[in-house]
Amino acid sequence: MSNSVESMRASFRRVASIAETESLRLISEIDCRYSKRAPARTRAFECSVCGYTGRFATAWALTGKRPLAHCPVCRAAERHRLQSLVLDRIAESVDFSKLAMLHVAPESIFTERFSTCCGQYVTADIERRDVDLQLDLTGLNLPDNSFDIVYASHVLEHIRDDKLALSEIARVLRPGGFAVLPVPIACLQTVEYPEAVASEAWHVRAPGPDYFDRYAEWFRVEAFASSDFAAKHQLYVHEDRSRFPNRYAPYRTPSPGPLHVDYVPVCYVR
């Protein structure tokens, strides 16, 4: 009986966490709408995704406010703007029109760009139905050397056996190919969770900058940082991470300072 009661309590906690997280998302949505219409009383920024210039909106995250996070027009967050600039940098020396891309857990903010610029564009997800293929990254039902690019943004933090996923990504890449594999950098050092956390969208870890060391077994990694591009795009995460751990993020460790660097690792097949 005690196990049954504890299981029920755990279920209630998961439902409550999901509800609280959805509330934060809705508040962020309202702030985006307001910022789009309100005159800029703070410094104007330029969105590298859609070209909008003006006030950026606040996001409401696991620690409370995350100022200057979203473009109010296309909703690009800090990570999207940084990834867009990295793609522009790669495109200076790579002809995407000759390449085949596998986009895992595809973000709508990039699907039009990728489907237009790539020679072949295939979307995939483990659960979603609005994709070309339903695939599990730990067991890709694809031939070796199938794609020139694998793009999987903020995916690996959901996968317990991430090393198996990395080996599968390397297997399906063609010689000379590369993968773009950013994760949310949330702590100074990577923290592995004892369980998936509902309020973190079922993350199983909080990556730190050291997380990219895991990629080295299969890839040569070139990591781009917020500081590598112009400040006008606002690529830093404004967040008070001294509030970790908390009820939304019970296993994260605290980090000092109100400003945090984001990274985009571009992983080239060895």
Q: Tell me the CATH number at 226.
A: 3.40.50.150
Give the DSSP letter of residue 160: S
Amino acid (one-letter) located at 152: A
Distance CA 169, CA 137 (A): 7
Q: pTM (2 decimals)?
A: 0.86
Per-residue pLDDT band at 4 (split at 50, 70, 90):
low
Residue (of 183, 221, 224) closest to 205 by Cα position: 183
Average pLDDT of 190-206?
97
Residue in the structure block whose two tokens are 């005159």: 39
Is 134:122 a contact under the CB 8 Å cutoff? Answer: no
Q: How far is CA 128 from CA 53, 124, 162, 238, in A?
A: 33, 8, 20, 31
Number of compact structural domains in the chain: 1
pLDDT (0 to 100) of residue 138: 98
Q: Is the pLDDT of residue 117 over 80?
A: yes
Residue predicted with more confidence, 17 or 236: 236
Is 136:126 a contact under the CB 8 Å cutoff? Answer: yes
Q: Is the pLDDT of residue 137 over 60?
A: yes
Per-residue pLDDT band at 61 (split at 50, 70, 90):
confident
Q: Look at phi and psi of residue 145 and say left if phi exceeds 0, alpha if psi is from -120 to 50, else beta.
A: left
Distance CA 270, CA 259 (A): 34
Strand partners, 179: 150, 267
Strand partners, 122: 102
Per-residue pLDDT band at 100 (split at 50, 70, 90):
very high
pLDDT (0 to 100) of residue 62: 86
Other CB atoms within 10 A of residue 249 CB: 23
Average pLDDT of 130-159?
98
Distance CA 205, CA 66 (A): 21
Write out the residue range of the structural domain in which residue 146 sits. Answer: 2-269
Q: Render pLDDT for 63-92 as a digit per residue (tens, 0 to 9).
A: 889 999 999 999 999 999 999 999 999 999
3-state SS class at 207: coil
pLDDT (0 to 100) of residue 110: 98
Q: What is the 3-state secondary structure (H, E, C) of 109-136?
A: HHHHHHHHHCCEEEEEECCCCCCCEECE
Is 241:255 a contact under the CB 8 Å cutoff? Answer: yes
